[in-house]
């Protein structure tokens, strides 16, 4: 009954409160909707993927796909919230809870891009050029998966736009695309080795005045929520990936690992009057896909690569049988 109820509720789009004066009721409705969708991915994510790929995906690939969907959904929702919504204790709890799983998605994405040989890169390019409709079928599948878990229409449209740009670059030069984002991820990881380096990077990205303004807004909003003495709302989903190197419920929120993982997503972990808070401080953040963040883009690129290779592999197997 619980699974059925979750599935039905998740068919509607998640309503992300956008007002700077977001209320507690709006946040509660939003958090509950998001938890339902995050939980739904655990047992239904991949339904349309199976229709796209004739050969059943391996369990490891399906888990990566599901964890990637959840990472993109979580970070996208977080990025759309106003600062007051981002620092709400229930949202903060979910961001920090999901850091290990998001890290798994991003780390796997980096490894996928790094491990591709020159021949594999050329095969990806050839697959897209030989089958002009392949890229569109992949993007349609990702769109259907996103719709099934309640991703708002506007953000799905953003994902299609960015996916189309990725496909265009893959048809031209996969290596240039991969190397560009691998370099960006390395710079962010290096900057996250210390508070000073990470803060310097954020100030360089958005300007010192804007950074300090954003930080002050986060502190003020966090104090407002704190004064209300809001009761705890347990996280309503379990990680897709188990056996991670950190317990998400007990990890040190100010640890270097956590800063690196959030920093890779363009999210700042800063010390405020009420403790450590994560806030989206990258400039011009527009949802998850059109933001300047590296992590979500790496995940999307890796998902596209895996789908292209899986479809190509299935096609070759069919040709051999014929």
Kindly indicate the confidence band of residue 241, based on its pLDDT and cuts at 50, 70 and 90: low
Torsion of the alpha carbons at 135, 146, 98 and 60, rounded to the nearest 10: -50
pLDDT at 261 over 70: yes
Kindly indicate the confidence band of residue 316, based on its pLDDT and cuts at 50, 70 and 90: low
Domain boundaries, the chain: 2-321
pLDDT at 11: 54
* Short-list 236, 294, 240, 246, CA closest to 65: 240
The structure tokens 């009761």 sit at: 231
pLDDT at 283 over 80: no
pLDDT (tens digit per residue) in 215-238: 888 899 999 999 999 999 999 998
pLDDT at 86: 93
Cβ neighbors of 212 (< 8 A, separation 6 or more) are none
pLDDT at 321: 38
CA distance 55 to 160: 25
Global pTM? 0.85
Of residues 163 and 43, the one with the higher pLDDT is 163
Quote the DSSP letter at residue 207. Answer: -
Long-range contacts of 260-263 (CB under 8 A, 24+ apart): 260/188, 260/189, 260/192, 260/193, 261/99, 261/100, 261/102, 261/103, 261/106, 262/95, 262/99, 263/188, 263/189, 263/191, 263/192, 263/198, 263/201
Of residues 125 and 53, the one with the higher pLDDT is 125
> Residue 245 phi/psi, 5° resolution?
-80, -10
* Short-list 299, 298, 300, 296, CA closest to 265: 296
Q: Which of 70-79, 82-91, 165-174, 242-251 has the weakest average pLDDT?
A: 242-251
* Short-list 177, 61, 163, 184, CA closest to 125: 177
Cβ neighbors of 271 (< 8 A, separation 6 or more) are 254, 277
pLDDT at 80: 87
If you average pLDDT over every residue of the chain, what do you get? 81
pLDDT (tens digit per residue) in 83-141: 999 999 999 999 989 988 888 898 899 999 999 999 999 999 999 999 999 999 999 99
Average pLDDT over residues 39-52: 80
pLDDT at 48 over 90: no
pLDDT (tens digit per residue) in 198-214: 778 778 777 888 888 88
């Amino acid at each position: 009954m619980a699974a059925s109820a979750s599935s039905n509720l998740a068919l509607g789009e998640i309503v992300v409160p956008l007002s700077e004066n977001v209320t507690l009721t709006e946040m509660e409705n939003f958090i509950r909707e998001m938890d339902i969708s995050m939980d739904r991915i655990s047992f239904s994510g991949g339904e349309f993927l199976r229709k796209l790929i004739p050969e059943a995906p391996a369990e490891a690939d399906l888990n990566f796909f599901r964890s990637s969907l959840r990472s993109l959904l979580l970070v996208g929702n977080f990025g759309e919230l106003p600062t007051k919504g981002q620092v709400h204790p229930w949202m903060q709890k979910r961001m920090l809870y999901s850091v290990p799983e998001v890290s798994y998605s991003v780390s796997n994405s980096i490894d996928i891009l790094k491990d591709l040989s020159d021949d594999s890169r050329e095969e990806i390019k050839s697959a897209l050029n030989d089958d002009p409709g392949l890229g569109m079928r992949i993007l349609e599948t990702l769109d259907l998966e996103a719709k099934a878990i309640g991703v708002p229409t506007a953000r799905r449209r953003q994902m299609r736009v960015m996916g189309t740009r990725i496909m265009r670059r893959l048809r031209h030069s996969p290596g240039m695309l991969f190397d560009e984002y691998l370099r960006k991820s390395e710079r962010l990881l290096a900057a996250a080795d210390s508070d000073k380096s990470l803060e310097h990077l954020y100030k360089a990205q958005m300007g010192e005045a804007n950074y300090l303004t954003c930080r002050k807004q986060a502190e003020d909003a966090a104090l407002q929520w704190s004064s209300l003495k809001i009761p705890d709302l347990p996280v309503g989903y379990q990680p897709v990936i188990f056996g991670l190197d950190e317990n998400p419920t007990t990890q040190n929120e100010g640890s270097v690992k956590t800063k690196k993982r959030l920093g890779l997503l363009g999210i700042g972990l800063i010390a405020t009057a009420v403790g450590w808070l994560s806030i989206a401080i990258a400039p011009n953040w527009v949802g998850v896909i059109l933001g300047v963040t590296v992590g979500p883009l790496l995940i999307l690129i890796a998902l596209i690569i895996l789908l292209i290779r899986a479809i190509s592999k299935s096609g070759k197997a069919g040709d051999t049988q014929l």
